[in-house]
Chain A
């Protein structure tokens, strides 16, 4: 990421930015369009993609976000961006062919008052975005790991859940991965060492051998990354997950598809 360009673009566009951001906070979105989407034009969502986000981040470390697709067959990928976070690109989902993903719900960290963008790339290569403004959490809430010892002790543990889907043609499932998903960077005042970053950077989810989605992400995803989603069943007997972190950790899970849906 070109930080200088990002700052310059942010400062320039802040003059014309509108919206509910605080007066003194430059709008980083124009710079993010340059960095993440190579300045490609981004059209309004027009119903193709919809972002559900809470008006206020209750817990800054665990903010639920849901991306919905009206016609999954049109969608190649969807990118979730927390504009004001230190690493704004939270997750980029690439949908499998014929996966039929109707929505993906995940949880992110929100550091401060921020616009959140969900950007879809459709089959014709065009981008469409929906956005929501999220107020920062109050009180002593911080976008930090709750219990670092527990997070480290259980890293890599996975859990699979199924739900009755509201859409009879689809199945609904949730993948949960224990991981601190820590940003690092802070200094431990006792050891005087900088805590190294440790986060999930890729998750692949399959039914049988067919990809449902692949997620590439970073430290804006919440601790213990989780993904709840619907998909069109292809007759496969299992859901399979492979996750990778930035230190080379590989975590795998496979579960039989049950009768929940």
Chain B
């Protein structure tokens, strides 16, 4: 019976995707630059994992896709919506990092023949985490997870790389461990649009899955990026650059200060995770879903500071 139900869902999944395409918003935020805003939410069966912002940049010859969404269904809807905007070949699919809401849609783009691109650490991160993500998200997403496969990049970026889409050269930059250990950003100098991936959160509380201090340092370095607008990994788009960095910086700074004070006092990690960063609660959505986690990981990192 279960097998029958799953088989049925798999059979209609392409139909769902085709139907979902008209409802999948993909807006032109600058000439030849498209973006989709995900919901500020956790990934669920109901939202099909559609919680991250996605994008596409179209040159004279080819298209680069930036992240693919949190399910195969969402990835197919994104592809269908993109095909309504342009028929140019999709030459690159760029993943900004390894998290499921950004990569679970990769499978939808395999048949386009695109080259998958990521940070040099992305293949390793997917190898270490992919199997866990596939099993852990079954609980949250149920059959919306069907068909999801982990597709690793074959073109990786050590520091920076320029991709030519035809009179449109976009600049990819790999960062030290910050939000995660494989954060990659994309700048389109022609439009001045910067795709920050999850190195920028707006309204959605920032998530630290790499290094709290690294995140702060990279956020400071990002200020120098010559852009006018930014597409964050999560939250409203486009946003003014670099002003959009300010709220996140305040949060990470507050959390760091609170954790350092707790460590100095000799508090344990469990106690510190309950209170650190608490002053920022009202400024963010999903605070209770992620703040204690950020505080826990941040505590374990900052504990090594000093003699």
Contact = CB atoms under 8 A, between A and B. Distances in A.
Contacts of B220: none
A59 B296 contact: yes
B300 A62 contact: yes
B17 interface: no
Interface in A180-209: 186-190, 195
Contacts of B203: none
A59 B293 contact: yes
B266 A141 contact: no
B191 interface: no
A138 B128 contact: no
Given A147-B210, A176-B303, A142 B133 contact: yes
Interface stretch (B88-96, B254-262, B267-275): B267-275
A112 B124 contact: no
A112 B140 CA distance: 12
A188 B269 contact: no
Contacts of A139: 42-43, 207, 289-290, 293
Please tell me the size bucket of the interface on A: 35 or more
Interface string A99-126: 0000001010001110000000000000
Interface residues of B, number: 46
Interface in A146-181: 146-150, 159, 161, 163-164, 176, 178
The interface centre, meaning the residue of B124, B139, B140, B207 with most chain A CB atoms within 10 A of its CB, is B124
A112 B210 contact: no
A222 B210 CA distance: 15
Majority-rule SS of B interface residues: helix
Nearest to A141: B293
A216 interface: no
B289 A138 contact: yes
Contact of B296 (A62, A113, A163, A164): A62
Nearest to B303: A176
B140 A189 contact: no
Interface of B: 42-43, 99-101, 121, 123-133, 135-136, 139-140, 152, 156, 177, 181, 207, 209-211, 214, 266, 268-270, 273, 289-290, 292-293, 295-297, 300-301, 303-304
28 contacts: A58-B292, A64-B268, A64-B269, A64-B296, A112-B135, A136-B136, A136-B139, A139-B207, A139-B289, A140-B209, A141-B293, A142-B132, A144-B125, A146-B301, A147-B177, A147-B181, A148-B121, A148-B124, A148-B181, A149-B121, A150-B211, A159-B303, A159-B304, A186-B128, A187-B127, A188-B123, A190-B124, A228-B268
Nearest to B152: A189
Interface of A: 22, 52, 54, 58-59, 61-62, 64, 66, 105, 107, 111-113, 136-150, 159, 161, 163-164, 176, 178, 186-190, 195, 222, 224, 226, 228
B293 A112 contact: no
B123 A189 contact: yes
A161 B123 CA distance: 37
Nearest to A136: B136
Contact of B99 (A105, A140, A145): A140
B132 A164 contact: no
Q: Which 3 pairs of residues, A with B, have the shortest CB-CB distance?
A: A58-B293, A140-B99, A147-B177
